[in-house]
Amino acid sequence: MRKIALVNQKGGCGKTTTAVNLASFLADMGRKVLLVDMDPQGHCALNLGTPPESVVKSTHEVLTAALPMAEAVTPVHENLDAVFSNVVLSAFEQLMSGVPDREYRLKEALSHVEFLYDYILVDCPPSVGLLTFNALMACDEALVPVDSSANSLHGLDRLIDSMAFIRNHVGHAIQVRILPVNIAPRTRFGQWVLRTLREKYPGSCATSVITSSTRLREAAAHGQPVTRFSPQDHAYTEYQALALELLRMETHTPHVRKPEQTEQKVSQGASRHPEGARQVVFAFEAPEGMPVKVAGDFNNWKPEDLVPARSGDRTVWKKVMTLPPGTYQYKYVVDGRWIPDPVNSRVSEDVYGGYNSIMSV
């Protein structure tokens, strides 16, 4: 189980956008995810279609021990739960003044539910006050979105100092990963920001980069993660790559996927050919008008059509292939876009700087 704080004292640098979209991707990849909003602005709720003022059981009740964490959890979609916040949380710092162990409120609250999840993502407010401190004390990792602005780069040193302080004075080490967000990669400035981050913080920068995307803003305005709102946008591929980057570092055994999701996976059928070949079902959920193909080293990377099948209000595209034993690399081609299998965490880097999915027969 991993607990990751989305932290940066600068506002508007992509913390909530990253928290919501990463959480949604990890959930779609079969991980059990809890998203916790520690920002009184309540943007996690807003970006997931819930007006913050309508949130009754919020982070505030949990942190002030008025409510057990489990009772504040709202299901968002398959595998994704959230504890939302709203403006009431702004009273927390004042209320806790002089209260012993006030920095450990979130850590304590999470301890009662964390066994249920593979990932807990904690979205922080744009400050380094008591709420952010609670998040950092509760988490072992920090994902720091940095947008392309001088203020963002300037604040990064202070943030890293805060985490060094926590390590040196409290003995709590936090693994920091910097994520460039809202970067215009074709501009000189965008390239300079990327270069500066990688030179100044070698080893602490994520491989993934989230470039500027109007669709991300639109998705937030429609209260949907990009997984649901815009699978054709480059932001979809970029947040997917970030989720895969995190999956590749997993050391824990994820919770078992729910049975109804297993058909989405590349799954091996029962029928065996004499020479040991097996049937493999490629399956991908996508809207009906969005043609899906599969390509891999088993078909010389020549995309082959999957066939759509309705399942309730969902459409799952499928193709059955018979493959001899071996290890194969593959990708789906969705509406012309090449993407790795979102529900298969086994990946290897391709020659284009992306990822191929891997399966063994």
Q: Which residues bind ligand ADP (CB under 6 A)?
A: 11-17, 43, 126, 181-182, 210, 212-213, 216-217, 220
d(CA 274, CA 325): 12
Beta bridge partners of 332: 294, 339
* Cβ nearer to ligand ADP, comparing 182 with 240: 182
Quick one: which of 360, 310, 317, 311 has its CA closest to 339?
Answer: 317
212 binds, among Mg ion, ligand ADP, none (CB under 5 to 8 A by kind): ligand ADP
Least distance in Å: CB of 137 to ligand ADP? 20
Dist CA 35 CA 156 (whole Å): 24
Contacts of 149 (CB under 8 A, 6+ apart): 10, 13
Closest separation in Å from C-beta 236 to Mg ion:
20
3-class SS of residue 279: strand
**CA separation for the pair 53, 358 (Å, rounded):** 45
The two tokens of residue 191 are: 């390239």
As a whole number of angstroms, the distance between CA 217 and CA 213 comes to 7
| In 96-233, alpha helices (H) | 105-110, 130-138, 150-170, 188-200, 214-221, 226-229
Task: Return the residue matching tokens 């505030």.
Answer: 60
Given 43, 177, 331, 346, the residue binding Mg ion (CB under 5 A): 43
- Closest approach, Cβ 40 to Mg ion, in A, equals 10
Task: In angstroms, give the least distance from the CB of 145 to Mg ion.
Answer: 10
Pick between residue 5 and residue 13 the one whose CB is nearest to ligand ADP.
Answer: 13
- Given Mg ion, ligand ADP, none, residue 358, with its beta carbon under 5 to 8 Å by kind, binds none
Contact between 16 and Mg ion by CB under 5 A: the answer reads yes
The yes or no reply on residue 15 touching Mg ion (CB under 5 A) is yes
Residue 274 token pair: 């004499």
Residue placing its CB nearer to Mg ion in the complex, 51 or 287: 51
Residue whose CB is less far from ligand ADP, 13 or 361? 13
Decide which of Mg ion, ligand ADP, none touches 76; Cβ closer than 5 to 8 Å per partner kind: none
Nearer to ligand ADP, 3 or 15 (CB): 15
Q: What is the DSSP string of 231-269?
A: TTSHHHHHHHHHHHHHHTT--SPPPPPPGGGGGGS-EEE
Residue 181 contacts which entry, ligand ADP, Mg ion, none (Cβ below 5-8 A, type-dependent) = ligand ADP
107 binds Mg ion (CB under 5 A): no
Closest separation in Å from C-beta 329 to ligand ADP? 29
Taking the C-alpha atoms of residue 146 and residue 206, their distance in angstroms, rounded to an integer, is 11
Point out which residues bind Mg ion (CB under 5 A). 15-16, 43
